[in-house]
Amino acid sequence: MDFKFSTEEETFQNDVNGFLKQELPSDWTGETAYASSDDGWNFNLKMKKKLAEKGWLTLGWPKEYGGMEASIMSQVLFNEQMAYNRAPGIDIWGIKMLAPTLMVHGTEEQKQRFLPPVANGEVQWCQGYSEPGSGSDLASLQTRAEVDGDEYVVNGTKIWTSNGHRADWIILLARTDTDAPKHRGITMLLVDMKTPGISVNPIVNMAGMHEFNQVFFDNVRVPKRNLVGEENRGWYVGATLLDFERSGVQYSAEARRTIDDLVGFIKDNPSSNFDLSGREHLRNRLADMAIETEVSRMISYNIGFMQSQGFVPNKEASICKSFSTEMEQRVAETGMHILGLYGQLTSDSKWAPLRGRIERTFLRHHSATLASGTSEIQRNIIATRGLGLPRA
């Protein structure tokens, strides 16, 4: 692995930092970046448009689809800076999920219809995969799509749909053949969220934030032209991966920002309850967390480097996901130990250190080892595909 960035990559990193310093408020800490807040969402949309104007929304896309064909490491650096600054504006469902899928499996009409609005920051997508009874075993999904003339009629429910209450469109996996083996008989559809029969119920997480939703489909009619790929082959369509950056660098960037916030707060309050001069175990623990974030960062850089050399990270991506999300939890827990009882105060309290960010981070990261593939699933991948161990 080459640990030195190219001159072009360093220049680009400086450009991104300069842009964020200019566009983010001087007191920006990311509190209003979440979908829970209308003001935060509106700011997210403004940032998305500005990123689109610079071409940064679609850094990794081929030029023929409005992208910049930027190097993998440039994409890594961009995502790292965005995550560290808690900057809003990225629609990962449209940019990194929908777009690669359409580039491979979509019709020319679908590409012309759906890709430009994503590149221009004009639409928001969400993902309809998980169901109340289908999480890690996604292929057991039960949402049905039955053919009726030139349309599919969809009935069922999806859960944990991030930004479902904000989205314009949803990427939906539905079962179209109930007699086929569970990995077959699944079809991918693109569904307008304004279609009659769709209802969205909020799911407020234990940090008091509304990001997740449960989406219900009651006789929702979807035109056949919104079918992606072949009918009953949606499982394989959904597994499409292109050479866009998937290093997981956001984990280390977010954890590094949390540590920097903690260290800054401690330095600003040297003679308070948060003084660590006599708490060697916490100083050591904070140092350990700083080391772990750098380990996570190097794993992500290595994945980016592998991609840039034409390799497809498999076990490496699972190593990054499992190590980094567990590291995030340890960092948040360390923050709670340092702040003590003050760490339990929410942003509503004037006594809350760091505006309650540590409390919120601690609660949010409880699900980090579940979302996007549990740690158990990641370890299975490492064991079978990385170490060559037999399946249980």
Q: In 3-state terms, what secondary structure has residue 348?
A: coil
Give the start-to-end residue ranges of the domains of the chain: 7-90, 125-235, 249-386
Tokens 């007699």 locate to 179
Nearest residue to 169 via CA among 147, 149, 146, 198: 198
Asked whether 381 and 313 are in contact (CB, 8 A), the reply is no
Q: Was domain 125-235 assigned CATH 3.40.1180.10?
A: no
What architecture (CATH level 2) is domain 7-90?
Orthogonal Bundle (1.10)
User: What is the C-alpha to C-alpha distance for residues 191 and 24, in angstroms, rounded to an integer?
Assistant: 33
Strand partners, 148: 151
Taking the model in full, what pTM does it have?
Answer: 0.91
Asked whether 229 and 237 are in contact (CB, 8 A), the reply is yes
The domain 249-386: what is its CATH number?
1.20.140.10
Our answer to whether residue 245 is catalytic in this structure is yes
User: What is the C-alpha to C-alpha distance for residues 59 and 74, in angstroms, rounded to an integer?
Assistant: 8
Among 211, 245, 254, 328, which one carries the catalytic annotation? 245
From first to last of its 392 residues, the chain has per-residue pLDDT tens of: 667 888 999 999 999 999 999 999 988 888 655 556 888 899 999 999 999 999 999 999 999 998 999 999 999 999 999 999 999 999 999 998 999 999 999 999 999 999 999 999 999 999 999 999 998 888 999 999 999 999 999 999 999 999 999 999 999 999 999 999 988 999 999 999 999 999 999 999 888 889 899 999 999 999 999 999 999 999 999 887 666 778 899 999 999 999 999 999 999 987 778 888 888 999 999 999 999 999 999 999 999 999 999 888 889 999 999 999 999 999 999 999 999 999 999 888 999 999 999 999 999 999 999 988 899 999 999 999 999 999 87
Asked whether 118 and 52 are in contact (CB, 8 A), the reply is no
Structure tokens at 360: 């919120």
Asked whether 231 and 305 are in contact (CB, 8 A), the reply is no
pLDDT at position 66 is 87
Find all residues with CB under 8 Å of 363, minimum gap 6, and list them. 205, 206, 207
Tokens 């928001």 locate to 124
User: What is the C-alpha to C-alpha distance for residues 272 and 266, in angstroms, rounded to an integer?
Assistant: 9
